[in-house]
Amino acid sequence: MTDNREFDSELHRTALAQLDRVAARLNLDPDIHERLRYPRRALVVSVPIRMDAGHTHVFIGYRVHHSTVLGPTKGGLRYHEDVNLGEVTALAMLMTWKCALMGLPYGGAKGGVRCNPRELSRVELEHLTRRYTAEIILLIGPDHDIPAPDLGTDEQTMAWMMDTYSMTQGKSVPGVVTGKPLIVGGSAGRREATGRGIVYALYQAARHLGHELRGRKVVVQGFGNVGGVAARLLWRDGAVVAGVSDFRAGVWNPDGLDIRQLEAHVAETGSVVGFAGADPLTNAELLEQPCDILIPAAVGSQIHAGNAERVKASVVVEGANGPTTPEADVVLRERGVTVIPDILANAGGVVVSYFEWVQGLQYYFWKESEITSRLQEIMARAFNRVWALGQKEGVDLRTAALMEGVSRVAEGHRVRGLYP
């Protein structure tokens, strides 16, 4: 196989290892396998902006398209100080499998800017977003590549991107991004979609495993739009949410946290730290607390060879992208832990992004009840396909989900052929 050291990173090595393992199991055509190991295109840009202090600072940005064989590309934009080309390329690849698994007419993309958004003012963030958009504008568009929020970005980021792109077109183009505010063409239910999808996946897992969610002890790493929403919905369903954390640290109460009060505390202080009636602990310690369900919904590689043996949950639901390393995957599988993989568990976000894109193209918007109903139907259908394939092939859910996603993309390549 061709050398691809330009994209080397821990996450990219993980993504390639997963693809290679599944390709062997599928007996994939070697030529198609080779094509799937590389992105369709990768753009690296400098993003110079005028800082509030008056000097110019140059940030580095990326936008990667992994595959366009099933349709335009779709994927988030993240602002984080550890963003690099390898990570963005790996996440674009995972988005390809995720979109194919969910039956969406997209290929995978991802973008990022290496920065710490918490250290930037609102004005600096706006300038950064608009300049980055201008630098990648030749790649994006409602028929080409549709960005969405990710780590460190939000609805406002998408509104700035949409406005910048629209200014170059001489008209408003809401379909260029998803995850934007409702007032400029966003979709009801988009903000909660990823967390809601996690819960819908858990409903199906509980049914197949013969479990009740009520009374089950849950730990959630990450208390943002993904983990926070999942924690709230599970708490309302009667689960005991015993531990949560954010980027600073975590809190733990074995008898359960009052999520409504915790949300009020976070709104007031900006963090879960210091919540009354709970013990403090680190993010690493949180993952090893006794619980039935663990939801890592923060960043990648949180469950690794060094701590997988100490994870006490019987079910791990990957709310984040790539939170479990391949080495940890083996340990969890050998211990009988059910892992609902990221490309299935956190797919609710891209499903509702698809709904938003369709609504924007039609200028016809659906009620939130329609969106949540359709999301639940798609999540249930995908989960049950993956579960059935796993049972048939005797493989874990991650392998089954990847087999389903990769085989769909490979079939697209087979049908379309190779140009010229």
**0.85 exceeded by pTM:** yes
Residues 123 and 212 both lie in one domain: no
* 354 occurs within a structural domain: no
Average pLDDT on 289-302 reads 92
**Tell me, what CATH number does 247's domain have?**
3.40.50.720
Give per-residue pLDDT as tens, 26-85. 999 999 999 999 999 999 999 999 999 999 999 999 999 999 999 999 999 999 999 999
**Catalytic sites, residue numbers:** 110
Please check whether residues 93 and 200 belong to one and the same domain: no
In the prediction, which pLDDT does 322 show?
84
Decide which of 170, 185, 216 is a domain's last residue. Answer: 170
Predicted pLDDT at 1 = 55
State yes or no: pLDDT of 167 exceeds 60: yes
Percent of all residues in the chain with a pLDDT value above 90, rounded to a whole number: 90
Same domain, 159 and 261: no
Residue 63 domain boundaries: 5-170
Q: Are residues 198 and 163 in the same domain?
A: no
What per-residue confidence (pLDDT) applies to 301?
A: 83
Neighbours of 284 (CB within 10 A): 15
Please state the domain count of the chain: 2
Rounded to the nearest integer, the mean pLDDT of the chain is 95
Residues 230 and 151 in one domain: no
Residue 97 sits in the same domain as residue 10: yes
- Tell me: cis bond preceding 420? Omega within 30 of 0 counts: yes
| Banded pLDDT at 290 (limits 50, 70, 90) | very high
Residue 234: exposure state from Cβ atoms within 10 A (0-12, 13-18, ≥19) = buried
The CATH number for 96's domain is 3.40.50.10860
Burial class (CB in 10 A: 0-12, 13-18, 19+), 374: middle
Distances in Å between the alpha carbon of 288 and those of 3, 223, 313?
Answer: 38, 17, 8
* Same domain for 162 and 40: yes
Tokens of 51: 């800082």
Task: Determine the angle formed by the axes of helices 227-236 and 259-269, rounding to 10 degrees.
Answer: 150
Residue 97 lies in a domain: yes
- The answer to whether residues 45 and 153 belong to one domain is yes
The pLDDT assigned to 215 comes to 95
The alpha-helical segments, DSSP class H, found in 27-121 are: 30-36, 85-101
234, part of any domain? yes
396 located within any domain: no
Determine, yes or no, domain membership for 411: no
Query: Residue 256 belongs to what H/E stretch?
Result: none
Q: For 56-93, b where at least 16 C-beta lie within 10 A, e where not — what string?
A: eeebebbbbbbbbbbebbbbbbbbbeebbbbbbbbbbb
pLDDT > 90? residue 277: no
pLDDT in tens, 236-273: 999 999 999 998 999 999 999 999 999 999 999 999 99
Identify the pLDDT of residue 3: 64
For residues 136 and 211, membership in a common domain is answered with: no
> Distance between CA 262 and CA 268 in Å, rounded?
10
Q: Please state whether beta strands 250-252 and 240-245 pair in parallel, antiparallel, or not at all (unpaired).
A: antiparallel
Contact 87, 11 (CB under 8 A): yes
Same domain (yes/no): 205, 134: no
Phi and psi at residue 82, to the nearest 5°: -105, 10
Of 345, 367, 392, which residue sits at a domain end? 345
